Structure 1
Amino acid sequence: MPTTATTDRPTAAALGHQERKVLSAVGCGLRDDEIAAALAIPEDAVAEHLARILAKLGLRDRAAAIVHAFDCGLVVPGRGPRTRSVSPVLRTAADRAAGPKVQISVLGPLQAWQGGRPLNLGHLRRQAVLAALALCAGRTLSRQELLDDVWGMEPPVANVVPVYIYRLRKALRIGDSPDSVIEHARCGYRLVSGAVDVDVARMEELVTDIGTADRAGDPTEAVRLCAQALELFRGELLAGLPGPLAELERMRLTERRVALMQRKLEWQLRLGQESEAIAELVALSAAHPVNEPLAAMLMRALYRNGRQADALTVFDRARRRLADELGVSPSRMLRRTHQMILRGDEAGLGLTPLAGWPRTRELPVPPTTIV
């Protein structure tokens, strides 16, 4: 029987979308720096989210938050976060020197290469099995987990997982040897450590490096690393692959890509590179018209570029889309950005260049009146 404290406590429904993601990651045992890397947000933002979570849910400390994450179903025992599962595969120095035997890409249509030669992975359902192994590189997946990930609530008539694994093993042999990059472990299947290079693992390495550059106060390096991570994305994520896992990962990786773009653009604005940022912000805002942080960034960039009227137009368009599509008014953050642009409040908009970093151009004088 649940305790009184549990039944009287507010549920996770009281939390915002990002707060729920942070609580889920906390429940899975991730540290603040790991959560920051997984969600592509600053580490201090994680601490702020956690403080609000504890206050909203009436929880005492982080340990109580972990328990609550399980109690409210945000975390399921034995099924850790996918963001943790896709951490880079650990390899020995000899492995790194030799280079990967097979390259697998999931940040687009699923593809695999060996020595620059594309490999035939078979039909989409079989590819979905390989995608599950690649997304969970370094972890063993049981037959049941693969069935759940690829077939969901409609399992096949026969257990075809061993058949698909057999054919994938043949397609993914290491050179001319009979060995494959997929091995049969005691409880299931996994990719052989050091034999595979998965692009999503490389992205996670870059996200970690981005956090290091951010903490070191090196925005130029952070922008460069963000651009490298974004170059790994190519086309529709896991295009055409069936199953619950592919659907979830498409959403997660799309959010990951947008978060990386937002971080890169934010640093570019802080470095005074608004001209370079505007084109990307326009395209990104068009693709995500109700993303208010993006709208606010575009407004700031346009204002800084001497286009105050265009910045105000962005606010009006965002206000209408929010009302039409979500039935809500602009958030306090977006309204505040609008008001600061009307006042020409550059300091409030955070448009002063970073200390020690020269501006790429002079800030235009804002108009004194609005027609």
Structure 2
Amino acid sequence: MLLRGGAESLSVCCGHCAPAAERRRWRRKRGRLGVVTLAGDGSPLRFEILGRPAAWRDGRELDLGPGKQRAVLAVLLLSPNRPVPTSSIVEAVWGDEPPDNGANVVQKYVAGLRRVLEPERSPRSPGRLLTLTGAGYALRVPPEGLDAEIFQDRVREAHAVRAAGDPARAEALLRDALSGWRGTALAGLNGSFFEAARGRLDEERAAALEACAEIGLELGEHARLVPELIRLVAEYPLREGFRYLLMLALYRCGRQAEALAAYRDARDFFADEFGVEPGERLQTLHVGILRADPALAAPPAPADTPPADDLPEPAGTGAAAGFAPPDPPAAAPVRAEHVPATMVAAHPAAAGQPWPGVPVVGPAPAIGWPPPQAPARRRYPWAVRTGLILAPLLSFGALTWAEVAYFAARRRSGTLGLMSVGYLVMTVVFFYGAAATDPEATGWWDVPMMFSVFVTTLGGGVHLALITAEPSSPPDGPAGLSEAAVDVALIERRVRRDQARSLVAHHPAVARELRIGRPDLARTFDDGGLVDVNAAPEHVLAALPGLDPYHAKLIVLARTAHGPLPSVDDLAVREILPFHTVHALRETLIAVPPEA
């Protein structure tokens, strides 16, 4: 018979052929190798709870019986080698609806488990694997006999190896530990007890995954980790650690804009769900990416790594496959024309050198006011478009003004609003004339009536055909630019806003000199369309989407009477604006501290 445990193997003929002392020595050896031996049977037995609870012998899964019996086994496996009181088993398995004879039912299920786990045991003999003590039932599980304990042991060993300075072996141990998971822990078992245990085990798994990803970044495996981290962020959206590692991996791959977009997604998620900002660690990394902090660069390759030319290329990679390693992240250069001439003497950085501790940007496309929150034009299905065009014809122009007014409100277009008023006036003229004149007689009133019905019917149909026509260029984008080009422009705008915010946070005097957040003033520095709540005039604030003159006046009065706002969130804290409005304008508003 061949017994295996870990990396060892042992070959014996039969335990009954040896003397008693020799048999005891072999039993101790089998216990160290993680083998559970049964009376009269030398077959190994192992248990699993990192997935659906299961028991295996000789590579064959055992039939654990009905669901409640499997749940009783899971309760015992969550406290291996320790007695569990019968009352605790009843509470864990049945919760708030225990059976009348709970102790007898548990005894029945324990007897069923004994028949499955110890088939060679005689009915009247006491159990050796599942025993009854004065404190309750205990399931004997030796080392390496339970997948959860194996996982925890491997994780502890990996942390010790990592602390000893061997990250490569630590990563291998963590991946080996994580490979033991077969799905959701304790799958198929319901109740508060199992939910709590499942949450505890899942937290251990998430911590191991995070540690494994951290070690991978230490080893320079950022390109390989990006897809895995994207999946982990979706699986564990509340863990900031995975978002941190994803941003760092993207940055080290030369994907700075995507790293900043990942931070913005995290900020939006936490604001929407809990009304809070990301943690300090994420915010510090965000600032570091904006500043192109050298400390965030990928670690150097190990000294004993052979040159790249001497390494064999895997199949399907290399230049033949169109693969090129990512360029190191770098900030775009700034030019002197982006800084006012008055700053050159006081700040030599305006002459072409970067600002101290702040990334600088190159020339941006002309991005004017208002900011990009204006609603975009949409593409209408042909059936909807046909119905919108035929409505003026079928209603003899009576619905034209309403349709144009709808598009005016949707696009916030004053021109369309005036046109809808004109259509309404002509509709009133037609119906008033039809009611006030004799249909049998012809008079001067027939001319404006015919003109009104012609314009509202035929002209309205043509007008709506033009309004609902598919745009020749993307919404709010320059004519001739593709959608990809507009996306790049929007990303550049976001990056410039983040860079302007970094200037405000670290160099407020420079931010004030560059007039960040003041679209009403002439300036050459592009801040991406930010608006300073501490300095922007009332009419600029009132022009923001979602704000009206009343709230704009409240902002001006609040900063005048109670002092400048330390942050944009103070608009909600002081109850000047509702929180949802502040959140909607978070990308546009900024609070620049005034000059002391």
**Same structural fold, with TM-score higher than 0.5 when normalized by the shorter chain:** yes
SS at match of 2:73: helix
Q: Which of the residues 142, 146, 161 maps onto 2:106?
A: 161
Question: Contact between 1:271 and 1:357, CA under 8 Å: does it hold in 2?
Answer: no
Q: Secondary structure at the residue paired with 2:145?
A: strand
2:57 matched residue in structure 1: 114
Q: In the alignment, what sits opposite 1:85? A: none
Q: CA deviation at 1:186?
A: 2.5
Offset of 1:265 from its aligned partner? 0.3
What residue identity is the alignment partner of 1:131?
A
Q: Distance in 2 between matches of 1:244 and 1:321?
A: 28
Does the CA-based 8 Å contact 1:290-1:318 persist in structure 2? no
275-284 vs 361-370, which deviates more? Answer: 361-370
Give 1:244 deviation, angstroms.
2.7
Residue aligned with 2:206, SS: helix
2:291 is aligned, of 310, 319, 343, to: 343
Q: Which has the higher contact order (CA 8 A, sep 6+)?
A: 1
> Is 1:329 aligned with 2:260?
no
Counterpart amino acid of 2:35? Answer: G
Alignment of 1:1-371 (within 5 A): 92-97=28-33, 99-100=35-36, 101-159=44-102, 160-173=105-118, 176-178=120-122, 179=127, 181-194=129-142, 197-347=145-295, 349=296, 351-353=298-300, 364-369=327-332, 371=492
2:120 is aligned with what amino acid? D
Q: Which residue of the partner structure matches residue 476 of structure 2? A: none
What is the CA distance between 1:330 and its match in structure 2? 1.4
SS at match of 2:46: strand
Give the aligned residue type for 2:29: A
Q: What letter corresponds to residue 299 of structure 2 in structure 1?
A: T
Of stretches 91-100 and 329-338 in structure 1, the one that deviates more from structure 2 is 91-100
Show CA shifts across 1:186-222 (max 9, x none).
Answer: 2211112549811011112112211220221110011
Whole-angstrom distance in 2 between the partners of 1:265 and 1:183: 42
C-alpha distance in 2, partners of 1:195/1:262?
Answer: 26
Say if 1:323 and 1:329, in contact at 8 Å, map to a contact too: yes
On the 8 A contact 2:34/2:142 being kept in 1, the answer is no
| Deviations 1:73-123, CA, capped at 9 Å, x for gaps | xxxxxxxxxxxxxxxxxx943423482332111000111111111111122
Preserved contact between residue 233 and residue 239 of structure 2 (Cα < 8 Å): yes
- With over 3 angstroms needed to count, the CA separation of the structure-2 counterparts of 1:350 and 1:331, relative to structure 1, is farther
Kept in 2: contact 1:272–1:360 (CA 8 A): no
Distance 2:33 2:51 in 1: 27
Q: Count residues in correspondence.
A: 279
Q: C-alpha distance in 2, partners of 1:288/1:123?
A: 33
Shift in CA distance, 106/217, structure 1 to aligned 2, threshold 3 Å: same
Give 2:180's aligned amino acid. L
- What SS does the corresponding residue of 2:294 show, helix, strand or coil? coil
Amino acid at match of 1:262: E
- Aligned equivalents of 1:248, 1:233: Cα separation in 2: 18
When structure 1 is superposed on structure 2, of 321-330 and 150-159 the one drifting more is: 150-159
Q: Distance in 1 between matches of 2:306 and 2:279?
A: 30
Q: Secondary structure at the match of 2:200?
A: helix
Return the letter of the residue paired with 2:276.
V
| Counterpart code for 1:161 | V
* 3-state DSSP of counterpart to 1:184: strand
Tell me the distance in 1 between the aligned counterparts of 2:232 and 2:246.
10
Contact 2:34 2:145 in 1 (8 A): no
Letter in 2 for 1:167: G
* Alpha-carbon distance in structure 2 between the residues aligned to 1:325 and 1:343: 29
> What's the secondary structure of 1:129's corresponding residue?
helix
Distance 1:193 1:345 in 2: 51
RMSD: 2.5
Contact 2:35 2:46 in 1 (8 A): no
Cα displacement (A) at 1:151: 2.2
CA shift for structure 1 position 245 = 2.3
Give secondary structure in 1 for the equivalent of 2:159: helix
Q: What is the alpha-carbon distance in structure 1 between the residues aligned to residue 305 and residue 237 of structure 2? A: 32
Asked if the contact 1:353–1:359 (Cα under 8 Å) also holds between the matched residues in 2, the reply is no
Shift of 1:353: 4.4
Q: Structure 2 length as normaliser, TM-score?
A: 0.44
Counterpart-to-counterpart distance in 2, 1:213 and 1:359: 25
Identity of aligned residues (%): 35
Question: Which secondary structure does the structure 2 equivalent of 1:272 belong to?
Answer: coil
Which stretch shows the higher mean deviation, 259-268 or 175-184? 175-184
Question: 1:244/1:211 Cα in 2 relative to 1: closer, same or farther (>3 Å)?
Answer: same
Shift, 1:308, TM fit:
0.7
**Distance 1:357-1:270 versus aligned 2 partners, 3 A rule:** farther
1: CA distance, partners of 2:183 / 2:297? 34
